[in-house]
Chain A
Amino acid sequence: MGTYLPNKKDFVYGFKRGFPIALGYIPVSFTFGLMAVNGGISPLMAVFISLTNLTSAGQFAGTNLIIEGAGFFEITLTTFIINIRYMLMSLSLSQKINPGISLLQRLIFGFGITDETFSIASVEKGKLSYYYMMGLITGPIVGWSFGTALGAFTCSALPQSISNAMGIALYAMFIAIIIPPARKSKSILMIILVSIGINMLLKYIPLFSFISSGFRVIIATILGAGTGAALWPIEDERKE
């Protein structure tokens, strides 16, 4: 840590680390903007969703449910279940940040914890400062909202074939996130397959047709991750 303006230095360094994430967010949030507006959500509301939620899976699922006219309980529970994973990241970061960071500062930068900012922050050396975290999350917040605005406002100008094709972007990104770890870990692969299997059973067996898509994903997730935790609990490999 430098002594001359360390806060500014930390912020700039964090911003540089977050910039590639911001770029990567643009095509995905563009797709979100398209999807939301195609579903009847106003462009401004689409940008507001991205600004206030700043998340991919939870926000896509929640917005889909809004478009379907689902109830508040289902929307809230689905979004919450999808976002439970942030608790682990938040917990993990609590060991990684400078212990002197105040509660208010934690409440501020915590807003910007995403799968990607968490991944970058986790691999930094040493303790993380508040200003580093603020620099890190700034680009991604701007990129996510900017991409959403692009998608939402250009929606009607795009040829149908292109907006149809962009519908696969989010799913492709999910595949890009889960396949590399599944390739290395048999337990992760099995958990993914269990979860998909349960999701498909609930979707295609008429007996379960009363279960909405949101709850299907919740049930599949809990049973899939639960099976994994019961059969392949992760032993602590390192002590700090």
Chain B
Amino acid sequence: MSYTLIAVLLMALVTYIPRVLPISIFRKEIKSKYIKSFLQYVPYAVLGALTFPDIINSTGNYKTALFGTVVALILAYMEKSLVLVALGSILTVLVMGIVF
């Protein structure tokens, strides 16, 4: 098996296990409010760290990326949908790419 295939199967396994383990085994609720809180906070912490500062390098030009980031932040603050925030950000980068 190739390096990529093994890596992908490992990824699939550790994506599948957290999805099915609790729903298959735990029929009771977690008691510890600290563990529950930690698990609830994980998505925000992980998405924050995945996004910043790497978003600045996502378009190959930090100036266009900066404008795209600001537009995404504004649209997200206005609670626009995922698709709208993504498209607005992409369009901004495209337009700014003509300027810079």
User: Which A residues fall within an 8 A CB radius of B?
Assistant: 23-24, 27-28, 41, 45, 48-49, 52-55, 57-62, 65-66, 69, 72, 75-76, 79-91, 93-95, 97, 99, 103, 106-107, 110-111, 113, 115, 161-162, 164-183, 187-188, 191-196, 198-200, 203, 213, 216-217, 220-222, 224-226, 228-230, 232-236
Contacts and interface: CB of A to CB of B under 8 A. Distances in A.
B85 A181 contact: no
B33 A225 contact: no
Given A169-B90, A171-B72, A176-B76, A111 B16 contact: yes
A90 B39 contact: no
B90 A180 contact: no
23 contacts: A45-B4, A52-B12, A53-B8, A57-B46, A59-B11, A84-B18, A86-B15, A106-B20, A107-B20, A111-B19, A111-B20, A113-B23, A165-B91, A167-B59, A168-B55, A169-B90, A173-B82, A179-B77, A180-B77, A213-B54, A229-B37, A233-B37, A234-B40
Contacts of A55: 15
Top 4 closest A-B pairs, CB basis? Answer: A224-B45, A110-B20, A179-B76, A172-B89
A225 B76 contact: no
Contacts of A228: 37-38, 41, 44-45
A54 B24 CA distance: 19
Query: Which among A49, A57, A228 has the highest number of chain B CB atoms within 10 Å?
Result: A228
Contacts of B83: 23-24, 27
For chain B, the bracket of interface size reads 35 or more
B94 A165 contact: yes
Nearest to A58: B15
Contact of A90 (B14, B21, B33): B21
Given A165-B59, A196-B52, A235-B33, A66 B44 contact: no
B20 A216 contact: no
A72 B86 contact: no
Contact of A192 (B10, B26, B45): B45
Interface string B68-84: 11001101110111110
B76 to A, nearest CB: 4
B82 A177 contact: yes
A174 B47 contact: yes
Q: Is the interface of A mostly helix, strand, loop or mixed?
A: helix
A192 B44 contact: yes
A165 B9 CA distance: 30
Contacts of A213: 54
A110 B19 contact: yes
Given A83-B18, A234-B37, A168 B90 contact: yes
A58 B53 CA distance: 17
A164 B22 contact: no
A90 B51 contact: no
B65 to A, nearest CB: 6
A106 B20 CA distance: 7
B68 A172 contact: yes
